[in-house]
A and B are shown apart, each in its own frame.
Chain A
Amino acid sequence: MKHALIALVAGLSLAALAACGERPQVATYKQGTYQGKPDTPPYQNAPFNGDKAAWDRAIAQRAQNQNEYKRTR
């Protein structure tokens, strides 16, 4: 009888602690990685053939064409 009572108390104690072991239910977001085909940089092929500095200069010059204050000065 005594053993049964001890076992019952021990069982209830474990049941009361069961909630403490629950894991968080909120899913964590993990960014996926690109799965498609690789792409080359815009300066890789003709007419720049890998010359990034020349490409940068061309883009910078084209960008300034959008500034009419410079174009009309």
Chain B
Amino acid sequence: MARMKFLCDAERCIECNGCVTACKQEHDVPWGVNRRRVVTINDGVPGERSISVACMHCSDAPCMAVCPVDCFYRTEEGVVLHDKDLCIGCGYCFYACPFGAPQFPQTGAFGVRGKMDKCTFCAGGPEKDGSPAEFAKYGRNRLSEGKLPACAEMCSTKALLGGDADVLSDIYRERVTMRAARGTKGSPPWGWDTAYGSAEAPKQVQPPGPGVPAPQPAPAGKS
């Protein structure tokens, strides 16, 4: 059984906000609601790191635990979704979520705080798949079309990965192994080599041959 998850590689994220834009465009997300955000730590300082954050579709989701009307459910793929017809916009899920995923539109039937909106892993909601009602409430249902979330699929550096957790783990494991094998050791703490590994394997230092003099250490006191 698939267990859908997101994984963001902080070595590769370049804070382009392409994932945020893709999400808003794909689902026609209203102004003021951000289902996905890019968070940067030490912004502007060499070595800064960025990650893309949205609903992490927790296995033990605190939003589900605190919802007073029990409008959350988890699909068999592990995607946490909710029924907007049942949501009362109380905001408990927002306080409970450690990622700030639940968003509340500033207009609607509840005045200043409308019904909760969050990342659906591009899986729609409890309406007929691909119907106008589903799109209006939850956005496009890409999963039912055999596609993965738009944010992950269009990430230019492939920092953001989305899909079955086992597959993502394999991809990330191969990536980290490749970095280690291709010269991350000794490379700067950020940059191309750290994120992708060198284009070629590092050259091996050949030991001096019988007719070649070994390099002499520099005399002390000179640099």
Contact = CB atoms under 8 A, between A and B. Distances in A.
B132 to A, nearest CB: 14
B193 interface: no
A60 B178 contact: no
B146 A45 contact: no
B94 interface: no
Contacts of B143: 42, 59
Interface string A39-53: 111111111100000
A64 B158 contact: no
B77 A42 contact: yes
A68 interface: yes
B148 interface: yes
A16 to B, nearest CB: 41
B102 to A, nearest CB: 16
A35 B146 contact: no
A1 B125 CA distance: 78
B86 interface: yes
Nearest to B164: A63
Contacts of B171: 63-64, 66-67
A47 B86 contact: no
Contacts of B71: 34-36
Interface string A18-55: 00000000000101111111111111111110000011
Interface string B152-183: 11000010011110011001001100100000
A38 B163 CA distance: 23
B70 A41 contact: no
B163 A48 contact: no
Interface string B116-145: 000000011111111000000000010111
Nearest to B129: A45
B83 A36 contact: yes
Contacts of B82: 36
Contact of A31 (B65, B127, B164): B65
A47 B163 contact: no
Contacts of B59: none
B185 interface: no
A47 B164 contact: no
Given A32-B67, A34-B70, A59-B2, A43 B163 contact: no
Contact of B70 (A29, A33, A40, A68): A33
**Most-contacted residue by chain B among A46, A54, A67 (CB, 10 A):** A67
Interface of B: 2, 64-65, 67, 69-73, 75-77, 81-83, 85-86, 123-130, 141, 143-148, 152-153, 158, 161-164, 167-168, 171, 174-175, 178
6 contacts: A34-B71, A41-B77, A44-B144, A45-B130, A54-B146, A58-B147
* The 6 A-B residue pairs with the shortest CB-CB distance in the complex, in nearest-first order: A36-B83, A58-B146, A63-B163, A32-B70, A34-B73, A37-B126
